[in-house]
């Protein structure tokens, strides 16, 4: 999994390039773990992720649960957005609701 990380001040933008599944989790977790301590906000930019399975949901929820950083998600393609929405409908949790609330207006385009 190729991942781009850009840091501006206390905000990091992590952009995975490709599918998110169980096999890609270690590199994505490593990208988040490698962020400097001064990063207090992480944006997961998924514009280049056309497919995500439940492993991607686990990744985003575990990142969102980190009390040291505010986590948001941007630019979800149709399939990852559909997975998030469906999961929230089937098994609503506060974590999923918080993730969904970070999507902003870009979710309407998917």
Where in the chain are the domains? 2-109
Q: Is the pLDDT of residue 31 over 80?
A: yes
Tens of pLDDT, residue by residue over 50-101, are 999 999 999 999 999 999 999 999 999 999 999 999 999 998 888 888 888 8
Determine whether domain 2-109 maps to CATH 2.40.110.20. no
Q: Where are the beta strands (DSSP E) in 24-102?
A: 41-45, 70-74
DSSP string, 12-25: EEEEEES-BSGGGH
Query: What is d(CA 32, CA 81) in angstroms, rounded to the nearest whole number?
Result: 21
To which H or E segment does residue 3 belong? strand 2-8
Structure tokens at 33: 């773990």
Query: What is d(CA 7, CA 11) in angstroms, rounded to the nearest whole number?
Result: 6
**The model's pTM:** 0.89
């Amino acid at each position: 999994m190729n991942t781009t990380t850009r840091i501006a001040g206390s905000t990091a933008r992590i952009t995975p390039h490709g599918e998110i599944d169980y096999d890609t989790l270690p590199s994505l977790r490593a990208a988040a773990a490698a962020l400097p301590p001064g990063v207090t906000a992480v944006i997961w930019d998924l514009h280049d992720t056309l497919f995500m399975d439940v492993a991607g949901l686990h990744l985003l929820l575990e990142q969102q649960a980190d009390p040291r950083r505010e986590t948001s998600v941007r630019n979800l393609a149709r399939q990852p957005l559909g997975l998030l929405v469906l999961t929230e409908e089937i098994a609503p949790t506060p974590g999923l609701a918080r993730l969904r609330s970070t999507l902003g207006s870009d979710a309407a385009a998917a």
